[in-house]
Every structure is written in structure tokens, then in C-alpha cells.
Structure 1
Amino acid sequence: MKEIGGYFGMEELVNQEFYSGLVALNSGSNALLYLLKARKITKLHIPYYLCDSVSNLLEKYNYEFEYYHVDQEFQPIFDKELEPGEYLYIVNLYGQFTQEKTLALKKHYGQLILDHSQAFFQKPLEGIDTIYSCRKYFGVPDGAYLATDAVLHEELEQDISKDRMAHILGRFEGTASEYYADFRSSNDLLAEAPLRKMSKLTRNLMGAIDAERACRIRNENYAYLEKQLGLDNPLNLTMPEGAFAYPLLVEDGISVRNRLAEQKIYIPLLWPNVIEDCPEESIEYQYAANILPLPCDQRYGIEDMAYLVEMVKKQWI
């Protein structure tokens, strides 16, 4: 029975989703699970340089997988012929895969899944299954979009996000450090969430975000950081559209992170599992430990970027 009357809940916000035509799911990991089921994939080749949420999901659902390495420009080092049912999982690290590089990979390998969790604003290409993460780019508790022509013939429930909102609402009126425990708790809850459709709450929020503005600001901030730091950055970078972060490769990155955190500048160690699992001399270990993903998102302007550069140089150079 429908309720009528009583107190107000959240309003229906403007519905202008950036990817309204894609499959809307509750997490990037579950978008991958959707593809594994719909494509009837039997084996996945994944990079060592990757969050363990993917390997954990594959183990949980008993999918076979193997690791491969990446080179200094984040490109896959992979020379195997893919058998029927085998797919190559490519992570578009820091948005460094241009359209041309992506099409070349598709032509070479064929059976490809592209992870755009660090490249939200790079549009999907026809015939390439592509996964997008919402919470890596915006203040939402969960959510993912999937570009695919594969159809999963299962009835999916709609997720519920209200219990994963505390850290987002808290930081809006408080500080990140106050609500970090809630952030970790929300991550843990999402990691255990089954494959579901994107929640009403997340979809409502995603429809109200000014994505074009966010993309423009990210471009401006990234360009500023590249101008100020590029000559000292060993990475050979391509400027992506709507950058996830500016990747700065330094020596002794973990110590630099810690010193910056003392100044309330929080630079994530994206995938600590890579440091635990890979040998210290590997490119994966070195990149995980020593690349600083400097924030350049829509929360900040050029004055913030100037301060960030100043503080990074004090701790690094």
C-alpha cells in the first residue's frame, strides 16, 4: 500500500545523468560480475596492478583468472592467444588509454573488458564492454555504469544506499578525518553487496550532478599541475578528458604521503594489496608505492592547486 502524507524525504532531483543510456548497477565489481555471467566468461586475465576487489570477486564466484604485467606507460604486457570464453581485463590507468590505443587493443585481442574507473569522462567505444565507477568521481556512496550489448537474463533487485551515506553527508558539513571510519565501513558494506541495479538514491544524485562542469574543472586543474610539475615527473603522460587524478611519480612515495597527511593533504595509496603481493623491484610495486595521485577534481580551483604544488614540492624536492 502506497503511503500518502507525513514528512518529506529527499526530493526528486534534476534527472540529467551523464550516462543515462547505460546499464546502471550498484558497483564496478558487480558490473564485472554482470559481464562474467552475460558473456559466459570462463577465464579472465587481469593486471597485477589492480585493486584486489577484482580478484576477490573472481575467487568468490569461482572464476579462473591469471595475472599479467604492465609496462612503464601502463600498457599490458600480454602475448597470449585468447581461447573462447577467455577475456583480457584492461584498466585504463589514470585515463592514459587514448581512443586510438583502445581500438588497437580491441583489434589485437578481441575479447576485451575495459575498466574506466579512472576515466569516467572517456566515452565508450562501440563493441567494447566498458565499466565506469561513480564514487571514484563524485560524492555518491556507490554506483556503476556498464556499456555493453550483452544481456543478463536475470531479474535484478534494486540496491539500497541509505546506510552507506554517513561519510558523504558528514564530510559535506564536517571534515574527512571525522568520518573516515564511516567511509571504511561503507566500503566494507559495498564489497559484500550482491549484484543489483543502482539504487534510487544514487541515481537521483547522479542525475543532479553538473558533470560538464566537473569535467571542465578537472581538465583545468590537471593542466595546471602538469605545467607546474611535469618537468620533474618521470611519467610520460597524455592529458585525459576529465582526469581522475594527476599521477606524480616520486621517490619514497609512502614517506611523502605521510608527511603530506600531517598537513591535512590526503593522497591515497590506491592499492596496498599490490605492495603486499608484488616484489619490490617490479614496476607494479614501484608505481603503487611511489605514484602520488594528486587530487585535481571539481572540489578545487587553481588556488588550491597552487597550494597543493607548494606543499608537494616542500615534501618531495
Structure 2
Amino acid sequence: MVKEYGYEYDAVLDKELYEKSKGKVTHEKFMGAMCLRSGRDVLKVVAREFEPTAVLIPSLACDSMILPFEMYGHEVNYYKLNKDYSINQESLYSLIPNEDKTILFLYMDYFGNKTIEDAELEKLKASHPHLIFIEDRTHNLLVNSRYTFKSDFTVASLRKWIDIPDGGLMWTDRELKKKEYSEDLTFSEVRLRAQCMRNEFLQSGDESIKTEYRKIFSTVTDMIDEEKLPGLMSQYAYERACQINLSEVNEKRRRNAQVLIEELKGFSFVQDKTGLGDVYVAVLIENRDEVQRKLASMGIFGTIIWPLNDKQRAVCEVSKYTEEHMLTIYCDQRYSVENMKYIASCIRRVCNE
């Protein structure tokens, strides 16, 4: 059996569930949230609710957070972050126009680092009643919110946390005006096939399978980016998610993150506290690209989760530095304590070469 660490989830097809759910999307709620096909689709739902306007997005954000708004004609503006990844309030306020016009404001915590205090959110709401607040909970989905402030929309990508082929979540108390959704399951079917192929590769070591599933994973999101209509979550993914013990998932991630942090003492962590959102463990290193390549040759994959555009880099030095230096280490439920210690030892060895 091949040993690889990181990268996309592999999966074993639940044949009985697949036959029962084939061709179906879900209209059920999960964790009290509406179920969409992906995080991108969740943001499409938000974006299409409003006439084209300005959207305020943190400069450290991936294109999957930007494209849905651009797709619906909104103008994306980026605000700066401070060195601790909190929102640079001077930058944020400078982007809010004085006129009484609807503005969309998206904010998120980074690896457990709280970016804005409740008091500041309340102040913003009081002084700018036209602001629409959108909280992205992808990084801290499985822990209790540290905010008492209630956003207009809360969004998250579920498939970052568990081995489902598709899945995004949205919470809102607002009555949605637009209620048309795509029920196309091509994205889910293709990703599920790639996940099963990856499992086959890990069992057999057949490199031709690896080449094929990697090509699928690298291109499959294009079909979402090309479709304006937001899609619903597949029934297969929904049923699989319902079978998973999320508390156990969260506990294993917290444990694994703690092992990595202890084993990598001396490294510069984006955050060094566990239990606040253990989607990855992120470190900042000077020769990130070289380290990443060497680790990949050893079967350890760290991903660059925020490739930035030129405008984002120009707006914020912290975001630019993070993009260039951050290595994200997978700490999810697939791995044991021994796996984490092995990964940490490899990172130390490569960084000391």
C-alpha cells in the first residue's frame, strides 16, 4: 500500500447508498444549514441576492471567494490585514462609501485567529446600516463560534473537513429572493470518481491511475466556475455527511494539530493554539517552494491555499508575504499521532538541509 500524506481525500464507494441516491440532490438541512454543492455555490447564492455593488473581501482570499461575486457583476475591493491576521480597520473603513448604498462585507478567521471583535462589528452595523455581513466559517466550522454578533449570511465549505465529493453550507435568517438552483451532479460524480481512483492508487501503487485522478482534481472546479446558477448538494454527499461523527473528526484534528505544533517547536506558526479551527496547521518558512517540492517527492503534500492576484498582493504586504511563505500541513482525521510525528520529522529534515 502506498503511503501519502495530504492532498485530496480518497474514498471507497458506498455502492448501496450510491444506487439509492443516484441522480438526486438534497433539500434537507445539515447542521441547520442549507446544503449547496460547494463553497463557491454558497457565495453565488449570496451574490445573486443583490444588485451589482461593492464587495469588501480580505486581501488574503482565494479566487473561489472572489469569482462568485464577479460572476454576478459586483466590484470586488480588498482590505488589508494586520500582522496577526486581524482586519486593518483603517483600510476597511476607507472602502466603505458614505452614501446610503448596500455594500457586501465578507470576513473570516484565519486558523483560529479572530479577525475582528464583536464590539467592532456592532459599531460597523450601527454606523453603516447598509452593510451586509457575510461570515466565512470554513476554517472554524466544527467549533463553537466565538462571535456573539449575528451575520446576515454565514457560509462554509463542508468538503474541506470530510471525505464527501461535494458540499457547501449556508445559514441565514433572511428570506431569499432568488430560489432557482442547478441540480446538475456532474461535479459530484466526477469528484467521487477521482476520490475512488485515489483510493485504488493507494492500494495498488499504479502510477497511471495517479496521473488520471490528479488531472481530474486539478480541473474539476472549472465546471462550477463556468456555471452561474448555484448548485445543490448531492444526496450521496448529504447521506455520507450524516453518517460521520463530526465531534470525533474535530477531536482527531485537534490532537493531530497539537502533535505537529509540539514537534515543530521553533517554527513560525500562523497560529499555535489548537481547538479553534484545525483545518490545517500553517507555518511560515523562507524557502517555502523548495521545501514544498522536496516534501512532495517524499509523499507529503502541503497546499498553497491562497494563490493571490496582483491587486491583492499590491494592497497588503501581510497577505503577499503569507502567500509566498506559508506551508499548510494536513492534520485531518485520516492520520495518526505517528503519522504526524513522521511528517514533522520530514519537515525538520528538509528545512535543515
Coarse TM-score class (shorter-chain normalised): 0.7 to 0.9
**Distance across 2 between alignment mates of 1:237 and 1:254:** 22
Partner residue, 2:10: none
Q: Is the 8 A contact 1:58 1:65 kept in 2?
A: yes
The CA deviation string for residues 179-213 of structure 1, in whole angstroms up to 9 with x for no partner, is 21111132222333431222212212211222111
Q: Is the 8 A contact 2:47 2:69 kept in 1?
A: no
**Distance across 2 between alignment mates of 1:212 and 1:173:** 28
- The answer as to 2:73 corresponding to 1:49 is no
Q: Is the 8 A contact 1:260 1:312 kept in 2?
A: yes
Partner residue, 1:139: 163
Unaligned runs of 5+ in 1: 1-6
TM-score by length of 2: 0.77
SS of 2:308's partner is helix
Report the CA distance shift for 1:61/1:39 in structure 2 as closer, same or farther (over 3 A): closer
User: Which runs of structure 2 are paired with 1:144-223 in the superposition (5 Å)?
Assistant: 144-153=168-177, 154-160=179-185, 161-175=188-202, 177-178=210-211, 179-193=213-227, 194-223=229-258
Q: Which amino acid aligns with 2:32?
A: G
RMSD across aligned C-alpha pairs, in angstroms?
2.9
- Counting aligned pairs with the same residue, the percent is 22
Range with bigger deviation, 189-198 or 268-277: 268-277
SS of 1:139's partner is coil
Structure 1 segments (4+ residues) deviating >6 Å: none
- The answer as to 2:104 corresponding to 1:87 is yes
SS of 1:94's partner is coil
Report the CA distance shift for 1:229/1:270 in structure 2 as closer, same or farther (over 3 A): same
Report the CA distance shift for 1:200/1:126 in structure 2 as closer, same or farther (over 3 A): farther
SS of 1:131's partner is strand
Residue 9 (structure 1) shift: 6.1
Unaligned runs of 5+ in 2: 1-14, 126-130, 203-208
Q: Is the 8 A contact 1:233 1:249 kept in 2?
A: yes
Partner residue, 1:304: 339
Q: Is the 8 A contact 1:39 1:150 kept in 2?
A: no
| Corresponding residue to 2:141 among 96, 113, 120 | 120
Q: Which amino acid aligns with 2:122?
A: K
**Distance across 2 between alignment mates of 1:278 and 1:173:** 40
Residue 105 (structure 1) shift: 4.4
Report the CA distance shift for 1:308/1:146 in structure 2 as closer, same or farther (over 3 A): same
- The answer as to 2:72 corresponding to 1:37 is no
Residue 310 (structure 1) shift: 0.3
Partner residue, 2:259: 224
Report the CA distance shift for 1:224/1:104 in structure 2 as closer, same or farther (over 3 A): farther
- The answer as to 2:294 corresponding to 1:294 is no
**Distance across 2 between alignment mates of 1:66 and 1:276:** 9
**Distance across 2 between alignment mates of 1:169 and 1:131:** 28
**Distance across 1 between alignment mates of 2:275 and 2:52:** 30
| Corresponding residue to 1:68 among 51, 66, 79 | 79
Partner residue, 1:4: none
Report the CA distance shift for 1:133/1:8 in structure 2 as closer, same or farther (over 3 A): closer
**Distance across 2 between alignment mates of 1:18 and 1:71:** 36
